């Protein structure tokens, strides 16, 4: 066993019979091991080298007179072997170490690229949270809020907070033309930014004033 895997021997999960926990997704492996390792080919070919290896293989497939569909069938793949013989940048790929050895048998390849194509090592695969967080997505699940004053449909503060923090710079001004009980203004103030609240209903303005307590400056007093 590779020495780096020694310390993970205590693992009792469903992949315990396997020397390397290959079956699990990176996330699952991370939840089991914290950090984990994956087996990877050491050889990282340049485009030029890739073309060289593919051209080499193409000679053998032509000599053998076998089709890529047939190779796929033997290896139990679908639409895979074709890519191993393509030279264009968008389509070409190299077979993995196991497929290479099988392909070697099918096409009777010589040993020229064996070492490059089959030598592997274990690479650390750390799965960790992105330090700046993730894209919030299109659906937000946020609990509704209530206030003691009678008012309908107030914004949940968490909703306003997220929007202001993500879209209003620290010296920016937030405008809410349908301010209602003034949730937007309250949160904006708590986040150290300025806001302008517009509200047609004087009763709602009173609620707003009470909620803001300090820091409010009336821009209009026509009610």
Ligand X SMILES: C[S@@+](CC[C@H](N)C(=O)[O-])C[C@H]1O[C@@H](n2cnc3c(N)ncnc32)[C@H](O)[C@@H]1O
Which of 123, 126, 175, 198 binds ligand X (CB under 6 A)? It is: 198
Place of tokens 């695969």: 125
Query: Looking at beta carbons only, is 71 or 174 nearer to ligand X?
Result: 174
Q: Which one of 3-11, 27-35, 75-83, 146-154 is the stretch in contact with ligand X (CB under 6 A)?
A: 146-154
Give the C-alpha separation, 26 to 198, whole Å.
Answer: 50
Residue 57: count other Cβ atoms within 10 Å of its Cβ: 19
Output 31 or 201, the one with its CB closest to ligand X.
Answer: 201
**What is residue 65's DSSP assignment?**
T
Tokens 């967080």 correspond to: 133
178 binds ligand X (CB under 6 A): yes
CB of 155 to ligand X, least distance (A): 4
CA 136 vs CA 16, 27, 144, 159, 190: distances in Å: 36, 19, 18, 12, 22
Closer Cβ to ligand X, 109 or 174, answer by number: 174
- What's the CA gap between 109 and 61, in Å, rounded? 9
Q: Mask of contacts with ligand X, 84-103, x by CB under 6 A?
A: --------------------
Q: Are 117 and 94 in contact (CB under 8 A)?
A: yes
Number of residues that bind ligand X (CB under 6 A): 14
State which residue, 56 or 178, has the beta carbon closest to ligand X: 178
Per CB under 6 A, 188 contacts ligand X: no
Report if residue 183 touches ligand X, rule: CB under 6 A. Answer: yes
Q: How far is the CB of 136 from ligand X (least distance, A)?
A: 20
CB of 14 to ligand X, least distance (A): 49
Biggest CA–CA distance in the chain, Å, is 92
215 burial (CB, 10 Å; 0-12 / 13-18 / 19+) is: exposed
**Interface with ligand X (CB under 6 A), residue from 113, 204, 205, 216:** 204
**At 86, which helix (H) or strand (E)?**
none
Task: Give me the residues that bind ligand X (CB under 6 A), please.
Answer: 151, 153-155, 177-178, 180-181, 183, 198-201, 204
């Amino acid at each position: 066993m590779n020495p780096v895997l020694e310390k993970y021997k205590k693992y009792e999960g469903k992949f315990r019979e396997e020397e390397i926990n290959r079956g699990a997704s990176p996330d699952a492996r991370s939840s089991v091991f914290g950090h984990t390792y994956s087996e990877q080919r050491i050889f990282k070919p340049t485009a030029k080298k890739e073309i060289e290896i593919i051209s080499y293989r193409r000679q053998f497939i032509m000599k053998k007179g076998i089709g890529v569909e047939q190779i796929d069938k033997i290896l139990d793949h679908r639409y895979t072997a074709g890519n191993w013989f393509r030279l264009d940048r968008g389509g070409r790929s190299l077979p993995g170490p196991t497929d290479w050895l099988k392909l070697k048998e099918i096409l009777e390849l010589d040993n020229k690229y064996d070492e490059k194509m089959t030598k592997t090592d274990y690479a650390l695969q750390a799965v960790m949270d992105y330090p700046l967080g993730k894209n919030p997505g299109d659906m937000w699940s946020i609990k509704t809020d209530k206030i003691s004053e009678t008012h309908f449909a107030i914004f949940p503060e968490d909703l306003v907070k997220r929007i202001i923090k993500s879209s209003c710079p620290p010296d920016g001004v937030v405008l809410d033309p349908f301010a209602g009980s003034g949730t937007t203004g309250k949160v904006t103030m708590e986040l150290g930014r300025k806001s302008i609240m517009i509200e047609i209903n004087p009763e709602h303005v009173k609620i707003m004033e009470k909620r803001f307590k300090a820091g409010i400056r009336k821009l209009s007093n026509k009610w």
